[in-house]
């Protein structure tokens, strides 16, 4: 199977064929969109800079979420029900909590400027 964007070998990701590089690129777009939906006053360029710092790499995606566990605990895994084996806290909510805590601890002046612009979402 070839990637939908290039000739590299690919895997099926959410119904699309992506190589590792393009899968991470799509992940970054989703992560950036989650953040801008919650913090509309932060520019995409600044979001990318902050996420690169928060994840410790510019090549971040959903597979690098374990790097955020040092910032905030991921929470319990559900042991029963239709979402058994999933984390109790949805991924988008966890990202927002980790991002908020990261800003508060590492960029307190910036946090003071954007915290009141935060739109609370219930995922």
User: Cα–Cα distance between 35 and 29 in angstroms, integer?
Assistant: 10
> Residue range 96-114: average pLDDT?
96
Confidence (pLDDT) at 122: 58
Helix (H, G, I), strand (E, B) or coil at 8: coil
Confidence (pLDDT) at 71: 96
Lowest mean pLDDT among 7-11, 93-97, 106-110: 7-11
Query: What would the pLDDT profile of 31-86 be if each residue is shown by its tens digit?
Result: 999 999 999 999 999 999 999 999 999 999 988 999 999 999 998 999 988 888 88
């Amino acid at each position: 199977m070839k990637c939908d964007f290039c000739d590299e070998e690919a895997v099926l990701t959410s119904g699309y064929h992506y190589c590792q590089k393009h899968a991470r690129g799509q992940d970054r777009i989703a992560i950036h969109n989650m953040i801008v939906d919650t913090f509309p006053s932060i520019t995409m360029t600044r979001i990318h800079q902050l996420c690169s710092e928060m994840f410790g790499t510019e090549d971040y995606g959903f597979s690098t979420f374990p790097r955020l566990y040092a910032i905030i605990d991921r929470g319990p895994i559900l042991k029963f029900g239709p979402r058994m084996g999933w984390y109790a806290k949805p991924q988008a909510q966890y990202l927002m909590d980790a991002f908020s805590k990261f800003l508060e601890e590492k960029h307190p002046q910036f946090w003071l400027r954007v915290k009141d612009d935060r739109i609370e979402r219930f995922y």
